[in-house]
Amino acid sequence: MRYFKIKKVVLAPPEDTTLSIVTTHEEKATPFSEIDGFQYFGVNTTDANFLTKQHAACAVVELTYLQVEPILKACALYKSINEIVQTKIRQRYSADDEMKLNRIANSVAKTQTPQAFWDYNTYVTECSTYGNQLKIEAGLKQA
């Protein structure tokens, strides 16, 4: 996944269109966010000439993952995946159940931690792993 910052350009009539990222049918572009007139996209492309195919007015800039990471973590898709994970956990454990199990686990020696806590912990880890995989597939996180 490659990441791009694109200046959103709205053309007045008679063109009456919005310029954005240019991709081919083989390239999948995922919009992540729009901040202060700039759009942030992830694009699955290996095209070395990708930037030369963009609208000059859009001032497209390629970003590294580290540069775009804070934007990705704040985007709606990232938050939606976090909510999916939270919902999966809540299907089995309420917030009260979680607090109780963590309180019990923190109040005893590790060798005395009840099995119920380990079952809970395993399930939460499975849910988190699932969410992380969704984020990786969407380009929100690196493997």
pLDDT value of position 2 = 97
pLDDT in tens, 29-69: 999 999 999 999 999 999 999 999 999 999 999 999 999 99
Query: Residue 27 is encoded by which pair of tokens?
Result: 């390239």
Average pLDDT of the segment spanning 116-121: 94
pLDDT value of position 15 = 86
Average pLDDT of the segment spanning 14-20: 91
* Domain range annotation of the chain: 2-68, 76-138
pLDDT in tens, 89-104: 999 999 999 999 999 9
Please, what is the angle between helix 95-107 and helix 115-138, to 10°? 120
- CA 110 and chain centroid, separation: 34
Kind plus residue range of the DSSP H or E element containing 45: none
How many residues would you count in the chain?
A: 143
pLDDT value of position 10 = 93
Average pLDDT of the segment spanning 81-89: 98
Distance CA 69, CA 88 (A): 25
Contact 135, 78 (CB under 8 A): yes
Please, what is the angle between helix 115-138 and helix 76-92, to 10°? 160
pLDDT value of position 109 = 85
